[in-house]
Amino acid sequence: MKKNGIINSELARVVAEMGHKDSLTIADCGLPIPQEVERIDLSLTKGYPEFLKILRAMLKDLVVEKAILAAEIKEKSPKLEAEILELLPDIEIEYIPHTEFKKKTNNSRAVVRSGETIPYANIILISGVDF
């Protein structure tokens, strides 16, 4: 049994398999997930688990050098954007249109589906190295 960190076996495996520049998407419950991309569905009910709880857990286990957000988050969910930026103080943030964001999920190792219902509660994490 793992001593600490992510205990979801699918998610722990994906994180362990990730290399430099690989991407992992954390999504709200409405983001379309491409058929060819692994889906790790953590959603239980609308609103649970929350996007930020999943993001916080991921940031404890995954080295992140860059994050990608939909540009629409600035206008539609500025409070959520501020909370995300607070969690990623030294990380490069790229904003792209939501239509482009959805296309970029095709390159993710996996999409982690939350129960979040806040608009544009989606992020693509680009892995870094810890040395």
Domains of the chain, by residue range, sit at 9-127
Say if pTM beats, i.e. exceeds, 0.95. yes
Whole-angstrom CA distances from 47 to 30, 102, 115, 118, 130 are: 11, 21, 5, 8, 33
Positions marked active-site: 20
Does residue 4 surpass a pLDDT of 90?
A: no
Number of residues assigned to the chain: 131
Does residue 87 surpass a pLDDT of 90?
A: yes
28 marked among binding-site residues: yes
The answer to whether 29 and 43 are in contact (CB under 8 A) is yes
The pLDDT tens digits of the residues spanning 20-77 come to 999 999 999 999 999 999 999 999 999 999 999 999 999 999 999 999 999 999 999 9
121 marked among binding-site residues: yes
122 marked among binding-site residues: yes
Q: Which fold has domain 9-127?
A: RbsD-like fold (3.40.1650)
